[in-house]
Amino acid sequence: MTKNVYCSVFFILSLIVFGCAGLQPGYEKPTVSITSFEAIPAEGMVPKFQIGIHIINPNRTPLQLKGISYTVSLEGHHVITGVSNQLPEIEAYGEGDVMLNASVDLFNSIGFMSDLIRNQGKEQISYNLDTKLDAGALYPLIRVSKKGKLSLTQTSKSQ
């Protein structure tokens, strides 16, 4: 009986210690930005792109990324999605670049192009980059969203 009590107490204490390990006072979200975007040879009919992502870690602990998923939306249409698990460790107060392969959602792209044709007088296109970074089981998922407008007549503005 006492062996079960000791095991239960040990288990509960372990949960508390490991559960608090992911809590870091003053933890700031990393900054994620797109640095490049280019078409690459596709296998089949669906176009593929290589997207350069720049990640800045403003925290005092290294960011050991296990995975990333992302979606690029134009005018509310999710046109590009992708995932990767080939990520570098971003040092504390450091930054790093990641190259991601992405594919186009054909039907959402057709919807976007259809809306663009209907609204030919449009001067701006809104964009949204939603990124989810996975730093491992002991840390919460890091969600970063960047919104802005791309001008069809002059330079782009971002918020």
Question: What pLDDT does 56 receive?
Answer: 93
Give which of 78, 84, 88, 24 is closest to 55, Cα–Cα.
Answer: 88
Q: Does residue 11 sit within a domain?
A: no
3-state secondary structure of 78: strand
Position 145 confidence tier, pLDDT thresholds 50, 70, 90 = confident
Phi, psi at 41, each rounded to 5°: -55, 135
Q: Does residue 29 sit within a domain?
A: yes
CA distances (Å), origin 25, targets 61, 79, 150 = 12, 36, 36
Give the whole-angstrom CA distance, residue 108 versus residue 77.
6
Q: Does residue 109 sit within a domain?
A: yes
CA distances (Å), origin 56, targets 94, 113, 131 = 6, 33, 13
Extract the tokens encoding 105.
Answer: 């959602």
- 56-109: per-residue pLDDT in tens? 999 998 999 999 998 999 899 999 888 899 999 999 999 999 998 888 888 888
Number of structural domains the chain divides into: 1
Position 10 confidence tier, pLDDT thresholds 50, 70, 90 = low
Residue 125 has pLDDT above 90, yes or no: no
33 CB burial (10 A radius; 0-12, 13-18, 19+):
middle
Position 138 confidence tier, pLDDT thresholds 50, 70, 90 = confident
Q: Does residue 96 sit within a domain?
A: yes
Question: What pLDDT does 115 receive?
Answer: 87
- What is the average pLDDT across 19-37? 72
Q: Does residue 143 sit within a domain?
A: yes
Q: Does residue 80 sit within a domain?
A: yes
Q: Which domain holds residue 123?
A: 24-153
Q: Does residue 38 sit within a domain?
A: yes
Taking the complete model, does pTM exceed 0.95, yes or no? no
Q: What is the CATH number of the domain that holds 120?
A: 2.60.40.10
Residue 21 has pLDDT above 60, yes or no: no
Question: What pLDDT does 17 receive?
Answer: 56
Q: Does residue 58 sit within a domain?
A: yes
